[in-house]
């Protein structure tokens, strides 16, 4: 596995017990946007298979042509971490099926990443969904394809752009079709996992 922070802007979070003062790894306080993206486990670095890095470099440059920056939020995730996340969600009574891959474990291959986008001019996040307003269904590609309002149509345009750019590098949305999850095409049950 290769460390992605050598190549990309990576946002890593750590979370502790409920009510703890959560901060970015650099010690800066979390913004409201950070809190919405907060990952539930401690992550010190983001790693991916060396096979994925040249593809992500192409993706990064393609987004740059649209004045969009790419942030890698998550990469390799061990089978043990997957199991811990699933168990934690179940213990808290949170939905697992349809939210986390409970059979393919694509991040355990090192060939999958979770991403977000930001405007290169302003540094602000570029949102591709409004989960608060539109519910959990907005997590999935094509949710906004029949949107009639300008915000929904814009979310759909961003999602289409993501599909086009990642697709040119032989990357696809995962089995769950989440707007933030992209993996190398062809991951299956025979792909080695760690």
The residues with which 125 forms a beta bridge, in sequence order, are 118
Whole-model pTM?
Answer: 0.74
User: How does pLDDT run across 51-107, given as a tens digit for each residue?
Assistant: 888 899 899 999 999 999 988 888 888 888 888 888 888 888 888 877 777 778 888
Choose among 63, 81, 74: nearest CA to 115. 74
List pLDDT tens digits, range 1-14. Answer: 555 555 554 444 33
Give yes or no for a contact between 22 and 14, defined as CB atoms under 8 angstroms apart. yes
Q: Which of 164, 130, 192, 134 is nearest to 182 (CA)?
A: 164
Beta strands in the chain (DSSP E): 2-3, 9-10, 47-48, 68-74, 112-119, 125-126, 171-173, 181-184
**Which phi and psi angles does 59 have, rounded to 5°?**
-60, -45
Supply φ then ψ for residue 176, to 5 degrees.
-85, -10
Domains with residue ranges and CATH for the chain: 2-184 (3.30.1380.10)
């Amino acid at each position: 596995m290769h460390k992605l922070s050598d190549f990309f802007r990576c946002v890593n979070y750590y979370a502790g017990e409920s009510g703890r003062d959560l901060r970015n790894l650099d010690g800066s306080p979390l913004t409201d946007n950070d809190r919405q993206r907060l990952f539930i486990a401690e992550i010190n670095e983001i790693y991916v298979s060396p096979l994925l890095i040249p593809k992500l470099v192409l993706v990064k440059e393609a987004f740059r042509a649209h004045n969009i920056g790419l942030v890698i939020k998550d990469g390799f995730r061990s089978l043990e971490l997957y199991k811990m996340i699933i168990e934690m969600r179940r213990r808290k009574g949170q939905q697992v099926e349809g939210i986390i891959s409970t059979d393919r474990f694509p991040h355990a291959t090192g060939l999958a990443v979770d991403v977000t986008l930001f405007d290169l001019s302003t540094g602000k996040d570029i949102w591709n969904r409004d989960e608060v307003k539109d519910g959990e269904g907005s997590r999935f590609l094509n949710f906004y394809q029949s949107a009639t309002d300008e915000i929904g149509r814009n979310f759909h345009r961003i999602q289409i752009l993501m599909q086009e750019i990642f697709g040119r590098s032989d990357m696809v949305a995962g089995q769950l079709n989440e707007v933030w999850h992209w993996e190398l095409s062809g991951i299956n049950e025979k792909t080695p996992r760690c």
